[in-house]
């Protein structure tokens, strides 16, 4: 089953377009868990178990695992291979030249076994192709990111007046999505840009981070990103779910938060 088949099957089964980001910060985890690789594995595994029937995907961020060295990488691999149902989008923001990109693609899709990955398009088509050729895996291109500094480059005006992020979206639509496995990362903190991108790319899946701690508005995000009878959007939330409680009942609190967010997304749709 391809990533998109798995994703839409999970959306229908769980009635959910909520993606839970797994960004385990030891300083914010429950006090009874160790601040090491075993601790972040235990924490993330419990969150996944508690929310697997409420989400459409999980999105672990590699940085929080790589910070623990080889043990952290092992913890990430174990989490991905748990296979609780929802597909795994690896938030790695990869993008490099030639053989380096080939090695990154093998690491993401073969070694770790992720279903999808986030990619940085700055180096161009040849840096993306080693990932794109995996037609059964998802490739989410960074387009307009949720961080405040995204405007430094992504809003740059081209000679024809378009912002750079819109040119990236159109290139993803016309050049990179030949296998039908490309989506776009567009931050919920930029609803006007999100609406521009949706008009340009009505059929492409948008992964929208930035709800919650980053200040994105859920209703505005859904209105801007949804399109057609089958809304092509999934909404990523991390901290508001992960850190709903720091006690021993953290997983139950995460489940409650996830259910509330799932229902809020559905209400907005």
| Residues annotated as catalytic (active site), given as ranges | 93
Dig out the tokens for 28 from the structure: 């914010």
Q: What is the DSSP string of 12-61?
A: HHHT--EEEEE---GGGS-TTS-SSHHHHHHHHHHHHHHHTTT-SEEEEB
Question: Could you tell me which residues are beta bridge partners of residue 90?
Answer: 117
Q: At a CB cut-off of 8 Å and minimum separation 6, what does 67 contact?
A: none
DSSP 223-239: HHH--SSS--EEEEE-H
Give the distance between the most distant pair of CA atoms in the chain.
56
């Amino acid at each position: 089953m391809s990533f998109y088949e798995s994703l839409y099957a999970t959306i229908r089964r769980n009635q959910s377009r909520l993606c839970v980001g797994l960004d385990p910060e030891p300083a914010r985890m429950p006090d009874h868990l160790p601040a090491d690789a075993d601790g972040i594995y235990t924490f993330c595994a419990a969150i996944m178990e508690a929310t697997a029937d409420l989400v459409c995907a999980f999105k672990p961020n590699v940085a929080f695992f790589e910070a623990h060295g080889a043990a952290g990488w092992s913890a990430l691999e174990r989490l991905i291979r748990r296979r609780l149902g929802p597909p795994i989008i690896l938030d790695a923001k990869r993008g490099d030249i030639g053989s380096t990109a080939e090695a990154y693609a093998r690491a993401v899709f073969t070694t770790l076994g992720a279903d999808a990955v986030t990619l940085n398009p700055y180096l161009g088509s040849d840096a993306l192709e080693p990932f794109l050729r995996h037609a059964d895996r998802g490739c989410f291109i960074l387009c307009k990111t949720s961080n405040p500094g995204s405007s430094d480059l992504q809003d740059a005006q081209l000679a024809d007046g378009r912002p750079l992020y819109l040119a990236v979206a159109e290139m993803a639509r016309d050049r990179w999505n030949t296998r039908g496995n490309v989506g776009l990362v567009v931050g919920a903190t930029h609803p006007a840009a999100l609406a521009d991108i949706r008009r340009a790319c009505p059929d492409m899946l948008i992964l929208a981070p930035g709800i919650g701690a980053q200040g994105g508005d859920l209703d505005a995000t859904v209105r801007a990103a949804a399109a057609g009878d089958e809304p092509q959007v999934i909404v990523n939330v991390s901290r508001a779910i992960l850190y709903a409680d720091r006690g021993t009942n953290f997983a139950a609190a995460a489940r409650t938060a996830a259910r509330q967010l799932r229902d809020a997304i559905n209400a907005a749709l």
